Every structure is written in structure tokens, then in C-alpha cells.
Amino acid sequence: MNKDKLIISRRKIVTGLASTGGLLLAGCSSPDLPPTYGNVLRMGDLLTYRAFRMLLPRQSLVREYDHQDISASPAIGTSNPADPQGNLFNAERGARYDRLRAGGFADWRIKVEGRVARPGSYSLADLKALPSRTQITKHTCEEGWSAIAQWTGVPLRAVLEASGMLPSARFVNFYAYDETAEGLDMLDALHPQTILAYGMNGRDLPLAHGAPLRLRIETQLGYKSVKFLDRIVVKDEFDDLGKIGSLQNGWAWYVGI
Amino acid sequence: MATTIVDLQPRYSVARHAGWVRISHWILAASVVTLAFSGFMILMAHPRLYWGKVGNDLTPALFELPITRNYMHGGWTTPIAFFPNNSAVVSAARTYDIFNENSWARSLHFLSAWFLVVTSLIYLVVGLATGHLWRDLVPRLREVSPRTLWRDVMSHLRLPMPVARGGPPYGSLQKLAYAGVILIALPLMVLTGLTMSPAVTAAYPLLMDLFGGSQSARTIHFFAFALLMLFLLVHVVMVALTGFRHQIRTMTIGN
């Protein structure tokens, strides 16, 4: 009797382990998780994402620095979306960006779409009318370097709330004026230090750093902080963002490390 | 009839290394080699090392390694200062297409790091529980006296080296090397690695204070890597000099 129980529980354990492993390895069926495409590197990324979410306290604040800690800041990747020589140039959006920049971004508006009760768009003045947050934080690039800068912007949470984000929403995706898109889960999207920044080191966001508006996601590496924002899309399920997303280009989607 | 010592030995042979030691040895070996390879790929994307909280191409480096075309590439627009009173706080845009294979190298690095961390944790728990760590690896005070160490160093310099039986008991230098790698170098690698993570340091900012900043942690990570590679080299050479076939046998099939 006892032995039977033992066998059953052991079988349960084995089945449990196998299904957990299966979920982790196959991973693709869940709409709440980044897909692995059967690629062992993406499985490792998924393990890191799940382990970080499971083991780390939720929404810890990153360290904020003093004004004297502000360092030089390299600008890499696209430095002007209107430049046809750029690696990630998009003709239609590049031309639109050029016109908006010529007008001092007076006609620039960011669109907020998807799973929100009030889809719409916000001008820079609209965003500046919402609560603002200024933070001196460290930008860590996947290449190995880092930089400390002061960022001023509106908490992403304030914009999502103003747009009436639906309770079923799970991911927030960001599309840029170049061929770039990134996504965040709700934990990072609603993090108090996740802001849409329009200011850097006390002035308007410089062109090469993503003017007029960029994302700052402080708990992940630099490439998640999309520059030159055009559009924010709220989703219920994971979206790998196709050819312009990091995943299909071979890069990890979650880069808390 | 005189009983010889040989007769007293059991008919079956005793494993020179316990099974769990052999399995963890090879998982760790594979992880370390993969970590070193992928880590070097990552280093190639930015072969500059710094000391302190931050560092980038527009700030002074502690030193720069002459690897890849990224070495001192100088491909930046003219730096523009953010503040009138501080000419060091500049911004410049990159004009140079750098070598960067981090897409797969980073993911491979962390995948192999998981194997290293999980195997190390199991190894440490079993090592403590069975007494292997304390009995066979942690050097006693008398074993690290200058006299004993000197004698051990000299005996390692005499060629040809005697064929080793494989497995414990270990000499002073062996204990220092193994305990140093398992109890100091590998934990240091994991901790300095985690100190480069924005998510981990958000939760545990103490790590940045412990190593003097994330860039210092990256530099320590690099030097610890160099020491581990030195260990790996000496380890493999010693295995080769003390009966390669026998040593590999004892670490695989056990005897």
C-alpha cells in the first residue's frame, strides 16, 4: 500500500517534472511567453526570463545616481531615421520623420493602440502635461559599455492609464521610425522607472539619442530602450514583432542580464 | 603462508573518483569551456575594460585589448558637451560598423552559465554532505606552510613525473588549486557576472558596492577568466604528465 503510494507519487513527480521541462523546452504554445522556435539558445533565454521573474523580487528600483555621476553617452544604432544610409532605414517612416523634425516636432504625435479603451495619439505637449519623472540612471549596453545620464519623461504607466489599458493586457510593444520594435511584459512596462523620455541631461532629447521621444526601461539592457518612438501597441498575447523584432534577428527578447 | 598487501586489496576495484564527482566534473568542464568561448566572443564586441561605475568609448579605459577591428576604431562623430562647465560629459554618434556576435554569444553564455550554476550548487551540497570538500579539497594549515609548499613546488618541477593513482588524497598545490577554483574563482565569476545585470543589481545593489561598480565587476570577471584559463592549462598539462590514459579513466569510468 505504502509502496503503491510511493510509486504513484514518484510517477506524479516524474510526470510533473516532464511537463514542466516540456513547457520550458517546447515553450511555444503559451501566449504569455516568448517562443523558442525549437532553438536551444532561445530555450536558455526563456529559462533565464522565467527564473528571473520567479527568483527576483518584483519591480525593485534600479539605483539612481547623483548629478556628478553623469558620464559621456555614446549614441549607437540609428542616429537619424531619415538617413537612407542607416542600417535600419524605412523609406516611408524616414520621410515622415524628416518632415516632423523640420517642423520642430510640433506635429509629432505618438499613437497608442491595441487593447486600450481609448486608442489615440499624444503630442509632446500632451505628454508633458501628464506627471513627469526625472531620474539619473545607468544605461547598460549588451556590447559591454555603460553610461549614466539624466532622463526626463512621463511614466509609461501614466500613458497606459490615460489610454484606458484593458485588464486582459499582458504586453506592451514599441515601434520606432526606423526598422526597430521591442516589447515588454507588464511587470517591466508598469515599473515606476519605465518612462517615455523627452529630455536628457536637462535638455530636449538629442537627435542621435532618439528625438523626440524614446523608451527608458532601466531593468533591462540598452537595446530594449527603443529610440524614435512612433507607436505603442498594447497586446493580450506575446507578439514576436516579426522581422523588425529582436527575436527573429537572433537576439534575446528578455535582457535583464 | 605470508599474506601480501596485494592480497588484502579487494577483488573489485574501488572508484578513485565518486560517480557524482565524475559527472559534475565533465558537466562543469563543458560549461567552463563554452563559457570561456562565448565570453571571449562577447569581449570582442567591446575589448575595453574600465574601473568604477561606468565606462564607454567616450570615457578613459583601464586598458584596451588589441582584438578585433573594434580595437581603438575611433569611429565617432565630433563629441559635443552636454554641460558648459563639464567638457567630459559629451555625446557622440558611432560612425563605424563594429564586430558584434553577441546575439548568439550572450544567449550561449547564459545557457552554459545555467549548467554551471546548477551543477555547482548540487556539487557543493553533496560535497558538504559527504565530507568530500572538507576531507579531500580544503587544505589544512600545515599543508600550506612555506616549507611544505616549497617541497611540493619542487617535486612538480622534476621530470618525468611519477604516474598518479588519480583521485584523492591530493597534495598541497592540488588542494589549493581545486579548492581555489571551486570555492573562490567560480563563485566570484558568477557574482561578478550577475553584477553586470541591470535586473539583478536593481534587486541587490549591494553587489555593485561589493565590486566597486558594474564596470569593475566586468574587469574582475575578465581577470578571473584569465586565472581560470591558466588553471585549465596547468590542469590539463599535469593530467598529461602523470599518466594521461589512467587519469582520464579514473575521471570517466572511475578506475
What ipTM is given for this predicted complex?
0.92
Q: How many CB pairs under 8 A join A and B?
A: 157
CB-based contact (8 Å) between B214 and chain A?
yes
Closest CB from A48, A63, A148 relative to B110: A48
Query: A118 vs chain B: nearest CA distance in angstroms?
Result: 32
Residue pLDDT tens, chain B, 255 long: 444 444 444 445 678 999 999 999 999 999 999 999 999 999 999 999 999 999 999 999 999 999 999 999 999 999 999 999 999 999 999 999 999 999 999 999 999 999 999 999 999 999 999 999 999 999 999 999 999 999 999 999 988 888 888 899 999 999 999 999 999 999 999 999 999 999 999 999 999 999 999 999 999 999 999 999 999 999 999 999 999 999 999 999 998
Q: Does an H or E element contain B92, and which?
A: strand B86-93
Is B194 an interface residue toward A (CB < 8 Å)? yes
Residue A27: per-residue pLDDT: 47
Query: Burial level of B20, CB count in 10 A (0-12/13-18/19+)?
Result: middle
Closest-CA distance, B55 to chain A, in angstroms, reads: 5
Residue A201 to residue B56, Cβ atoms within 8 A: no
The mean-pLDDT minimum among A25-29, A55-59, B223-227 falls in A25-29
Indicate the residue of A45, A72, A87 with minimum beta-carbon distance to B90: A72
Which residues touch A228 (CB under 8 Å, ≥6 apart)?
Answer: A78, A81, A97, A176, A177, A178, A180, A210, A211, A213, A214
Q: Are B101 and B45 in contact (CB under 8 A)?
A: yes
| pLDDT recorded at residue A32 | 92
Using CA atoms, how far residue A169 sits from A31, A50, A209, in Å, is 12, 19, 29
> Considering only alpha carbons, which residue of chain A is nearest residue B44?
A143
- Confidence band of A12 (pLDDT split at 50, 70, 90): low
Q: Which residue of B has its CA nearest to A251?
A: B103
Give CA–CA dist A18/A35, Å, rounded. Answer: 19
Judge contact between A51 and A143, C-beta under 8 A: no
Mean pLDDT of chain A: 92
Q: Note the pLDDT of residue B163.
A: 87
Of A43, A87, A142, the CB nearest to B106: A142
Query: Any CB–CB contact under 8 A between B242 and chain A?
Result: no
Residue of B nearest to A48 (CA): B110
Contacts of B72 (CB under 8 A, 6+ apart): B64
Is there a contact between A189 and A157 (Cβ–Cβ < 8 Å)? Answer: yes
Instruction: Using a pLDDT cut of 90, give the percent of chain B over it.
Output: 89
Which among B102, B104, B206, B222 is the top mutation candidate for probing chain A, defined by the most A β-carbons within 10 Å of its own β-carbon?
A: B102
User: Which residues in chain A touch residue B89, judged by CB atoms under 8 angstroms apart?
Assistant: 70-73, 201
CB contact (8 A) between residue A52 and residue B42: no
Taking the CB of residue A117, how many other CB atoms lie within 10 A of it? 8
Averaged confidence pLDDT in chain B: 94
Q: Would you call A147 and B92 a contact, using CB atoms and an 8 Å cutoff?
A: no
Q: Which residue in chain A has the smallest CA separation from B197? A: A257
Question: Which domains are delineated in chain A?
Answer: 1-60 (no CATH), 62-249 (3.90.420.10)
d(CA A245, CA A251): 9
Distance between CA atoms of residues A92 and A79, nearest Å: 17
pLDDT of amino acid B176: 97
- Statement: residue A11 has pLDDT above 50: yes
For A133-188, how does the pLDDT look when each residue is reduced to its tens digit (9 = 90+)?
999 999 999 999 999 999 999 999 999 999 999 999 999 999 999 999 999 999 99
Please provide the CATH number assigned to the domain covering B20-53+98-252. Answer: 1.20.950.20
For A97-124, write each residue's pLDDT tens digit.
Answer: 999 999 999 999 999 999 999 999 999 9
- Give chain A positions within 8 Å (CB) of B59: 71-72
Q: Is the separation of the CB atoms in A228 and A176 below 8 Å?
A: yes
Q: Which residue of A has its CA nearest to B98?
A: A143
Extents of the domains making up chain B: 20-53+98-252
Contact B93 A41 (CB under 8 A): no
- Which segments of chain A are extended strands (E)? 73-75, 109-114, 120-123, 133-140, 146-155, 171-176, 181-185, 195-200, 203-204, 214-216, 229-235
Distance from CA of B149 to the nearest CA of A (A): 40
The set of cell numbers assigned to B203 is 534587486
Q: Give the model's pLDDT for residue B164.
A: 87
For residue A249, the chain B residues in CB contact (below 8 A) are 103
The pLDDT assigned to B102 comes to: 98
Share of residues in chain A with pLDDT > 90 (%)? 88
B96 and chain A in contact, CB less than 8 A: no
Specify the pLDDT at position B137.
97
**Average pLDDT of the segment spanning A190-210:** 98
* B chain contacts of residue A148, beta-carbon cutoff 8 Å: 53-54
Q: What is the pLDDT of residues B159-168, one digit of tens each?
A: 888 888 889 9
Cell of A220: 533591462
Interface check B203 vs A, CB under 8 A = yes
The minimal CB distance from B89 to the residues A70, A250, A252 is found for A70
